């Protein structure tokens, strides 16, 4: 049987394409179809480790989970991980290819299309239908010539498109109709339908809007999706989705107060999601320009560029706040890049993150990090020390961290080696393991160290329940049979 494919592009970034594809993937999988997600090009500092030792965007990891299939580097063949205002780390088929400046990438990316198409056809060979997600806006005509993410890919793969607009932002009619008028005629012909996302209030109030969009564009109205609160239980992909202030079930009344400084290159911040579901925890995201509040625990999460984020932390004066917090008896936890910051220093002899050199760390752990060698990308499991609580997660980092606190007081026993470090006081912890807090046993143990009780929720079940609720939402409000009719057979490679 020949697989079919359909692409979902947006009128702009953050209109809900990733969540939409995840919900459709779960809905179609429940109908008995073999579904695979695919995003030709993604830009995100949140990545997931695949079983074959690569990395892909976490949005595609969530979509694969919705399909009930293992992660594959083919699902996101080109991943850009920003490392500043003008440059990014380039990951192709799960492996780092080096650094690339935004200006240079525009001409460089045309050479990536063969690998993108090969990945697409690899997935098509495994599926009944491939759900393709575009990136950013479909109407970026200034980038169209060498595009591999939106209409350029749709043309190369010869597939049709459904356009997604976000009514919650306002101006959705102009966004959708404007896109029809801005894109080239040959691209506009590929757009077969549209979806209006995140409707708040009575859907009947926008019935005329749906009719008028269809009349002015000639596209099929696939559906008007009401806002769904359960989406909050799904991991966010972009740092822009991190709301400042206290969040979570325990906000304003929790026994345990956790503060997280929002650094510019924050990465894999979904490590924090399981804490937000704990009734005994108030999780506060601290934006730049604010002092760290009085709290019980400060968490330094992952960072795409550790040295740059460490400098940003010092510019904010948060290093002073953290040291004062520790002197008052507070706890600090660092994950991946945050762990590296807690040590005595970070050396970058090869200039992986910038000019070669060394910077002082916060000095809260007696360890030192050297950024060298290949990136470690692997799923891991082991036990938290000394309680022996189960740990499951993944590592995704460049560099090795060694020193007395790692040798004498590691945080995790991974079986063949030890990970992390604990200070002599026992109040500062560091680890390279992402997903550490998602495992109920490890989270319960760490919260108990701080005098708090975990509600014992299963984070994985929470995410799966949210995906099921999202799929129900899609079935109720979208013409899914109509979407299946729009999907075209995948042309042979």
What is the residue range of 339's domain?
235-453
Q: Are residues 36 and 184 in the same domain?
A: yes
pLDDT of residue 51: 86
Same domain, 244 and 151: no
Over the chain (493 residues), the average pLDDT of each successive run of 10 is 94 95 99 98 92 92 98 97 77 91 82 97 98 96 92 97 96 97 96 97 95 98 96 78 57 81 93 92 94 97 94 98 98 98 97 92 98 92 96 95 98 97 98 94 94 87 96 98 97 84
User: In 3D, which of 141, 197, 144 has the Cα closest to residue 168?
Assistant: 197
Identify whether residues 257 and 311 lie together within a single domain.
yes
Q: Does residue 491 form part of some domain? A: no
Residue 490 lies in a domain: no
189 lies in the same domain as 310: no
Are residues 440 and 474 located together in one domain of the fold?
no
Q: Which tens digits make up the pLDDT trace of 27-61?
A: 999 999 999 999 999 998 889 999 888 999 999 99
d(CA 36, CA 29): 9
Residue 386 placed within a domain: yes
The catalytic position among 336, 397, 459, 473 is 336
User: Would you state the pLDDT for residue 481?
Assistant: 98
Residue 434 annotated among the catalytic residues of the structure: yes
Same domain for 352 and 291: yes
Active site residue 336: yes
Same-domain status, 175 and 60: yes
- Asked if residue 291 is part of any domain, the answer here is yes
pTM of the model: 0.91
User: Considering its fold, how many domains does the chain have in total?
Assistant: 2
CATH number where 391 lies: 3.40.50.880
HSE at residue 1, side-chain half, CA atoms within 13 A, is 9
Q: Are residues 340 and 208 in the same domain?
A: no
User: Of these residues, 325, 331, 406, 434, which one is catalytic?
Assistant: 434
Please check whether residues 163 and 193 belong to one and the same domain: yes
Question: Does the residue 377 lie in any domain?
Answer: yes
Residue 458 lies in a domain: no
CATH number of the domain to which 136 belongs: 3.40.50.300
What's the pLDDT tens digit per position in 389-406? 999 999 999 999 999 999
Residue 238 has a pLDDT of: 63
Q: Which candidate, 404, 407, 418, 412, places its Cα nearest to that of 386?
A: 412
**Taking the C-alpha atoms of 109, 110, 112 and 115 in order, what is their torsion angle to the nearest 10 degrees?**
150
């Amino acid at each position: 049987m020949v697989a079919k494919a359909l692409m979902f592009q947006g009128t702009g970034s953050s209109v809900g394409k990733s969540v939409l594809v995840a919900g459709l993937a779960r809905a179609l999988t429940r109908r008995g179809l073999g579904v695979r997600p695919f995003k030709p090009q993604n830009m995100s500092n949140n990545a997931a480790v695949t079983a074959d030792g690569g990395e892909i965007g976490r949005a595609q990891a969530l979509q694969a989970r919705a399909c009930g299939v293992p992660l594959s580097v083919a699902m996101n063949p080109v991943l850009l991980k920003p490392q500043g205002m003008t440059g990014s780390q380039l990951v192709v088929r799960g492996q780092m290819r080096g650094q690339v400046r935004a200006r240079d990438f525009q001409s460089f990316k045309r050479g990536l299309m063969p690998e993108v198409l090969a990945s697409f056809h690899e997935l098509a060979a495994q599926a009944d239908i491939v759900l393709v997600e575009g990136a950013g806006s479909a109407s970026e005509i200034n980038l169209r010539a060498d595009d591999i993410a939106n209409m350029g890919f749709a043309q190369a793969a010869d597939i049709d498109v459904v356009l997604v607009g976000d009514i919650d932002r306002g101006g959705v009619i102009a966004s959708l109709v404007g896109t029809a008028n801005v894109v080239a005629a040959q691209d506009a012909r590929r757009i077969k339908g549209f979806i209006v996302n995140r409707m708040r209030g009575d859907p009947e109030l926008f019935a005329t809007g749906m009719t008028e969009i269809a009349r002015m564009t000639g596209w099929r109205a696939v559906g008007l999706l009401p806002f769904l609160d359960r989406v909050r239980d799904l991991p966010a992909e972009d740092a822009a989705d991190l709301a400042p202030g206290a969040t979570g079930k325990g906000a304003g009344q929790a026994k345990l107060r956790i503060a997280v400084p929002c650094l510019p290159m924050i990465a894999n911040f979904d490590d924090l999601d399981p804490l937000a579901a704990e009734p005994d925890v108030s999780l506060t995201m601290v934006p730049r320009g604010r002092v760290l509040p009085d709290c019980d625990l400060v968490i330094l999460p992952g960072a795409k560029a550790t040295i740059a984020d460490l400098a940003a932390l010092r510019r904010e004066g948060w290093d002073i706040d953290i040291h004062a917090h520790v002197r008052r008896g507070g706890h600090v936890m660092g994950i991946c890049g945050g762990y590296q910051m807690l040590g005595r220093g970070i050396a970058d002899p090869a200039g992986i993150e910038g000019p070669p050199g060394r910077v002082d760390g916060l000095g809260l752990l007696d360890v030192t990090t050297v950024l060298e060698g290949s990136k470690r990308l692997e799923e891991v499991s082991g036990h938290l020390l000394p309680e022996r609580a189960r740990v499951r997660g993944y590592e995704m980092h460049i560099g090795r961290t060694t020193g007395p606190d790692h040798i004498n007081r590691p945080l995790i026993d991974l079986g063949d080696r030890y990970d992390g470090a604990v200070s002599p006081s026992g109040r500062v912890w560091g680890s390279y393991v992402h997903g550490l807090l998602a495992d109920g046993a490890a989270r319960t143990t760490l919260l108990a160290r701080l005098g708090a009780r975990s509600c014992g929720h299963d984070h994985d079940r929470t995410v799966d329940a949210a995906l099921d609720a999202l799929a129900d939402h899609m079935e109720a409000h979208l013409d899914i049979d109509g979407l299946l009719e729009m999907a075209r057979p995948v042309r042979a490679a």
